[in-house]
Structure 1
């Protein structure tokens, strides 16, 4: 299905401006992590492995706004950690929306019912709830029973209150094509979320469980089978057609890590939010002082099995914009 119309227009006009200005590297989305603290300890995430002194920190709203305006991305993903643990996350969101940004707030949704009243539905705002499987699988992934039911109830409450709700599902090597089908069918047909993102699990260096991440061929086979029999067209997937082609091995791309920069309490993360080769103090420093050519499959072994949307979706979007055929395909689904 791709992006919602208002976001498609926003991104399209932004991309045209970059082309007219002949800007070589520019952000499509900026991921901001205003805290690393979380109320869960997921097996595939290494964020809460930071020292206690770092986990206690909360980024000021002014610092978040400054980083977003510095890089100029039209879309902001507020992540973490668990963003709803930040005492000013609602203020942060309102300030970004007032500046014309499209904001996605990523959450495990456990705290969502408690904080929902602080937010208002907006055409440029969506909740992004992490759902990594149905009940048993999801609860095992987050290492806590009952979280799936809490997240589903929170999604229902947000939908009833008029909010757009997206989901983000990460799949690992212990997931079968049928697991993928069941999760996406449930989210699409039963829960009726607005958009769904999917991603093959990436091996965070600090993740507690390092034995569950997918290789390239495993990823291609998993999604090729899951997408079969016309299912891909029926699901409201929040991805470009070319990125979905990439996931199932119909096409291949190089990574575009600079297109989704990550800003956190430690600074601008080099080269992307999945890897940490140091931090830059400014966005300009990130662009100019990072050796982008040394990253990607066949260049850095840490990249060899990565097919995550943070690196490859931007490549697919740029390829779509550069092709009339693909642009028409994106509009028609």
Structure 2
């Protein structure tokens, strides 16, 4: 299972346009962080380590729209922090949908029941709810008991209201092939979410807990065993087949961090949202002044254990589009 058909069409059309324009670096998905504040204190995330005055700030609707228009991305991921703590988040979503963008709103879902009435189902909108395991594991990951049950209830409420619901699950070295299978089976078969996104955890520099992140060989072994017996064909995974091959160690790719840039209250983050080497104020500056060739496995030691989807899924998509065989494989599987 790959991307939803309308999203695949948007991205495919976008890629064709970039090829015609002969752009070698362009955005596929832009991640917008309209705030850093959050109602949870997850051990694997360093966003709330920002200074207090920054945590109080909220990005205006017009600024969000301008950033999206500037980079030209067909898909927008609204993240944070917790986006539902932004008083105008519904207006941001509406503004982007009017511009024919595909929007995913990333949330821990604790506040979703309170705000669901502000949103309307749309084929170009999906909730992206974080679930990093079944109850015990997820509550441990977010450092708060009861959040798993709240997220599950929110998923059911959103599905009953007619919304598309995606999930995002990050896996750590405390996970196993069995725990990966358990959560994906539950999301796929019991909750029946529309799409599932997965990624090995990356060691954010500001993350409070640094010892739980996976190395490359650990990642490959875990996903190779989790995907055995044809399991990955059953799950509604929101990934290209080549990215899943990459997670298993069947393919090698170079990172394309420019394809999923991050824009926040601090500006455009260099080189990616996982590594904060600095910020610039325009997308043009990001593309033209970032030393892209300095990043990636074997180039920067911070990249050596990264297999996150934000860096490698775009590479896999480009490889799929550049191969008739892989394009046909994507059509058959998706």
Superposition TM-score, scaled by structure 2 size:
0.99
Partner of 1:41: 41
Partner of 1:278: 278
- Per-residue CA deviation, residues 151-172 of structure 1 (Å, 9 max, x unaligned), is 0000000000000000000000
**Mapping of 1:215-226 within 5 angstroms?**
215-226=215-226
Distance 1:289 1:260 in 2: 16
- Per-residue CA deviation, residues 9-60 of structure 1 (Å, 9 max, x unaligned), is 1111111111111111100000000000000000100000001110000000
Distance 1:252 1:44 in 2: 26
Distance 2:302 2:23 in 1: 28
**Mapping of 1:182-331 within 5 angstroms?**
182-331=182-331
- Per-residue CA deviation, residues 100-148 of structure 1 (Å, 9 max, x unaligned), is 0000000000000000000000000000000000000000000000000
| Aligned residues: CA RMSD | 0.3
Distance 1:80 1:14 in 2: 26
Partner of 1:60: 60
Distance 1:243 1:158 in 2: 28
Distance 2:113 2:181 in 1: 28
Distance 1:288 1:16 in 2: 22
Structure 1 spans left out of the alignment, 5+ residues: none
- Per-residue CA deviation, residues 225-277 of structure 1 (Å, 9 max, x unaligned), is 00001100000000000000000000010000000000000000000000001
**Mapping of 1:1-150 within 5 angstroms?**
1-150=1-150
Distance 1:127 1:147 in 2: 17
Superposition TM-score, scaled by structure 1 size:
1.00
Q: Which runs of 4+ in 1 moved over 6 A?
A: none
Distance 1:22 1:301 in 2: 31
Distance 1:296 1:200 in 2: 16
Distance 1:32 1:13 in 2: 22
Distance 2:248 2:266 in 1: 35
Residue 229 of structure 1: SS of its match in structure 2?
A: helix
Distance 2:322 2:306 in 1: 24
Distance 2:147 2:262 in 1: 27
Distance 1:137 1:233 in 2: 25
- Per-residue CA deviation, residues 187-211 of structure 1 (Å, 9 max, x unaligned), is 0000000000000000000000000
Distance 2:129 2:19 in 1: 33
Distance 2:13 2:66 in 1: 23
